[in-house]
Amino acid sequence: MTVTIKDVAKKAGVSPSTVSRVLSGHPRISLETSRKVKAIMEDMGYTPNMMAKSLVSKTTNSICIILPKPAEELFSNLFFMELIRGIVTQASRSGYDVLISSGANEKEELEAVSRLLKGRRVDGVILLYSRKDDAVIDFLQGGGYPFVLIGRSDRYENILSVDNDNVMAAYDATNHLISMGHERIGFVSGPPNLIVSRDRLEGYRKAMENSGLTMRPEWIVEGEFLQDSGYRAMSFFMNLPNRPTALVAVDDMVSFGVLRGLNELKYKVPDDLAIVSFNNIPLSELSSPPISSIDIGIYHLGYTASQVLIQGIQKPNNDAGYTNRFVIPHRLIVRESSMHTPSKP
Amino acid sequence: MTVTIKDVAKKAGVSPSTVSRVLSGHPRISLETSRKVKAIMEDMGYTPNMMAKSLVSKTTNSICIILPKPAEELFSNLFFMELIRGIVTQASRSGYDVLISSGANEKEELEAVSRLLKGRRVDGVILLYSRKDDAVIDFLQGGGYPFVLIGRSDRYENILSVDNDNVMAAYDATNHLISMGHERIGFVSGPPNLIVSRDRLEGYRKAMENSGLTMRPEWIVEGEFLQDSGYRAMSFFMNLPNRPTALVAVDDMVSFGVLRGLNELKYKVPDDLAIVSFNNIPLSELSSPPISSIDIGIYHLGYTASQVLIQGIQKPNNDAGYTNRFVIPHRLIVRESSMHTPSKP
DNA sequence: CCTCCTTATGGAACCGTTTGCTTTACACAG
DNA sequence: CTGTGTAAAGCAAACGGTTCCATAAGGAGG
């Protein structure tokens, strides 16, 4: 049926081993044989069977990512899509395929990762986000499997990771508002088990303290990376007796929710409430008003993660003193949502 | 190192074949043996090697999709993400993994598909969109490989496909505007090599003709599924001496571009120009004003495609007279962007 | 002319499963 | 007691490659 290495060998009058060597560019194959075999492979339409190859080489040339099933309840889909594009593009360039599986919760994720890795279906894993006390990381670390974390671990120092400096990013975002004259600044955070939520909150704190501004506990609310959280946060904030004049939100989707709410209540942005958020998804410049946002280079994050992982797979000299934490630069994109100086009360 | 079927067999004092049969639930295995072997597998931490399994069974339990490399230049990323979520979720439920590769153009796509399929790395393919004279389809059809097309083919009748009734959808969209009193309606189409562009254009035509409205060639412009196309189309339309009072746009992203442009020029939507578009991406209700859109059930499209493909892989009785075209229903979501009756000139 | 390298190739074992064909061990009928 | 049927398990040959080891041919050096 399908043409194998043996068929090619027979037709070329050589042994299967020779064909295999031609394929892998073995040095001790005469130019003549090589050319002949290649020609025959070509016209017989030979394609190597990856399964057979993987079986003996114990390598699959593919990596995997696990998509949180209800993606829309965690991050914005756009975030993941950008990440995936970066990962797939780079992997493709390095000759790797990307396998996507999905898991509704940490347990399912662990099962999927374990099955894929122990079943030798993939060579490594990219974890798309970092949370506290992640059992998946324990498994990967314990099993010595190649993996890279997007974000950072709260417990392991020496694992490969690609991250932003989220503390600094939040510091920058907050400082931007402060420099515009704001003093009462609120913060809409994400799920507390996500490291990124904590880091950004931390940056906000630092900036506030650094400028000697008072921080009220009621000015910090937790939510998801979702519009609804923004909507709820907005109505909470606007009902406060001494309400903030500006907000830092952990994700652009949250800002959209805030915007929607303010719009319904006929408040103006940035006049009544200025806002800046994170991720700079393609739509943040499309809303009205356009949202100031910290661009964290999502595509780049994915691209780098893939690159780092594949390098780690190909030469596992991870013990060397090289850096294993890669930081993707961020930058603040100022748009209309934060372009207003509050009037002093 | 890793524990194989042989290790389990040895420890259990049975032959490898017996262990294999336990694994696959073979009827002629005594309950006692089965229990013993299972217990041993458990505590040795046995995981089947998928490569070995695939090699002999000629089946991989995975399917693939090809992501157009510069995704943002074709469709909106949100579209793909929704599709992927649907596909991955369903595949996961059926015990399949999804492999994503990427190709910058039709040639690269063909190479990727061919490599994956002929190299027996995947069992089937989902084509994420349909274009005219697609060489990839020829390859799949010619090779007898299982695949399903999202959209429809312009040349093959009997291939598995999951589609919307795009002609009808466009008909509905246009009719909605007509019923609001519009008579001068323009159309912003997509790339002409995409079947979906043609179908929607066709539906627009039908609706116009059906209502006896004049159709001017200059009221139909071509673009991409991108904001920029909308922006350009807008400035073209607004400079026309006898300009349309409403627009049907092939994708929500296009609407965003139109909106942005109109906003810059201080035109009002829907007062100066009403608009309705397709796909109902999550952000179409967030823009100002929110955009009327045809919801085509993207997630559902992906989910069904995966289901249909996997069914086709598992029992290839495709010769039966069963239906092989699945139509996902659409529905019009009316929002502010089309809620205005034009004043008669 | 014989030995020793070097270079190009062949042979065969192995990677971890599946599966068709046997074999073993009973139980039971004739 | 021999023959037959059946349930349970083992043997060994694939599946399509890779790779270690052996071998043959052809110099080169002594």
CA of B21: nucleotide with nearest C1': C18
Tokens matching residue B201: 């254009």
The pLDDT-based confidence of B321 (bands split at 50, 70, 90) is low
Separation between Cα atoms, residue B248 and residue B24, nearest integer Å? 55
Q: Which residues pair with A278 in a beta bridge?
A: A294
For chain A, the farthest-separated pair of C-alpha atoms sits apart, in whole angstroms, at 92
Identity of the residue numbered B46 = Y
What are the pLDDT digits (tens) for A41-90? 999 999 999 999 999 999 999 999 998 866 555 556 788 888 999 999 99
Residue A276 lies in a domain: yes
Residue B345 lies in a domain: no
Based on the fold, state whether residues A184 and A83 are members of the same structural domain: no
What are the pLDDT digits (tens) for B266-313? 999 899 999 999 999 877 887 878 999 999 999 999 999 999 999 999
Rounded to the nearest angstrom, the minimum Cα separation between B319 and chain A is 21
Based on the fold, state whether residues B153 and B115 are members of the same structural domain: yes
Residue B154 lies in a domain: yes
The count of domains in chain B is 3
Which of chain B's residues have a Cβ under 8 Å away from the Cβ of A78?
77-78, 81
Residue B149 lies in a domain: yes
Based on the fold, state whether residues A66 and A186 are members of the same structural domain: no
- The number of residues in chain A equals 345
pLDDT of residue A67: 86
Torsion angle (degrees, nearest 10) of CA B121, B125, B126, B131: 120
Separation between Cα atoms, residue A342 and residue A31, nearest integer Å? 77
> Could you tell me where the DSSP H helices lie in B45-144?
50-57, 77-93, 106-118, 135-143
Q: Is the CB of B195 under 7 A from strand C?
A: no
Q: Is the CB of A101 under 7 A from strand C?
A: no
Listed as ranges, the nucleotides of chain D within 7 A of a protein C-beta are: 7-12, 14-20
* Phi and psi, residue B311, nearest 5°: -60, -45
Tokens matching residue A224: 């998801």
Based on the fold, state whether residues B180 and B252 are members of the same structural domain: yes
SS3 A5: helix
Residue with tokens 């964290």: A296
The pLDDT-based confidence of A160 (bands split at 50, 70, 90) is very high
Q: Is the pLDDT of residue B76 over 70?
A: no
Contact B50 A121 (CB under 8 A): yes
Give the mean pLDDT of chain A.
91
Examine residue B241 and say whether the peptide bond preceding it is cis (omega within 30 degrees of 0).
Answer: no
Domain extent, residue B38, equals 5-48
The candidate with the shortest Cα–Cα distance to B103, out of A91, A338, A76, A173, is A91
What does the DSSP 8-state code read for residue B180?
T
SS3 A228: helix
Separation between Cα atoms, residue B196 and residue B201, nearest integer Å? 8
Based on the fold, state whether residues A250 and A273 are members of the same structural domain: yes
Burial class (CB in 10 A: 0-12, 13-18, 19+), B6: exposed
Q: Is pTM beyond 0.75 here?
A: yes
A window 161-180: Cβ near strand D (< 7 A):
none
Given a contact cutoff of 8 angstroms between Cβ atoms, the answer to whether B264 and B296 are in contact is: no
Residue B224 lies in a domain: yes
Q: Which residues pair with B276 in a beta bridge?
A: B248, B292
Examine residue A316 and say whether the peptide bond preceding it is cis (omega within 30 degrees of 0).
Answer: no
Q: What is the DSSP string of A276-291?
A: EEES--GGGGTSSSPP
Q: Is the pLDDT of residue A138 over 80?
A: yes
Residue B55 lies in a domain: no
Based on the fold, state whether residues A201 and A318 are members of the same structural domain: no
Helices vs. strands in chain A: H and E counts, helices first: 12, 12
The domain that holds B14 is classified in CATH as 1.10.260.40
Based on the fold, state whether residues B184 and B304 are members of the same structural domain: no
Based on the fold, state whether residues B124 and B149 are members of the same structural domain: yes
Based on the fold, state whether residues A203 and A290 are members of the same structural domain: yes
pLDDT of residue B319: 53
Based on the fold, state whether residues B159 and B184 are members of the same structural domain: no
Based on the fold, state whether residues A303 and A283 are members of the same structural domain: no
Which of chain B's residues have a Cβ under 8 Å away from the Cβ of A114?
47
Contact B77 A78 (CB under 8 A): yes
Listed as ranges, the nucleotides of chain C within 7 A of a protein C-beta are: 7-12, 14-20
The domain that holds B326 is classified in CATH as 3.40.50.2300
* C1’ C17 / CA A4, Å: 19
* C1’ C2 / CA A28, Å: 27
Residue B53 lies in a domain: no
What's the rounded mean pLDDT across residues B165-188?
97
What's the rounded mean pLDDT across residues A95-124?
93
Residue A57 lies in a domain: no
The candidate with the shortest Cα–Cα distance to B333, out of B257, B255, B271, B267, is B255
Contact B51 A72 (CB under 8 A): no
Based on the fold, state whether residues B206 and B254 are members of the same structural domain: yes
What's the rounded mean pLDDT across residues B29-33?
89
Which of chain A's residues have a Cβ under 8 Å away from the Cβ of B81?
71, 77-78, 80-81, 84
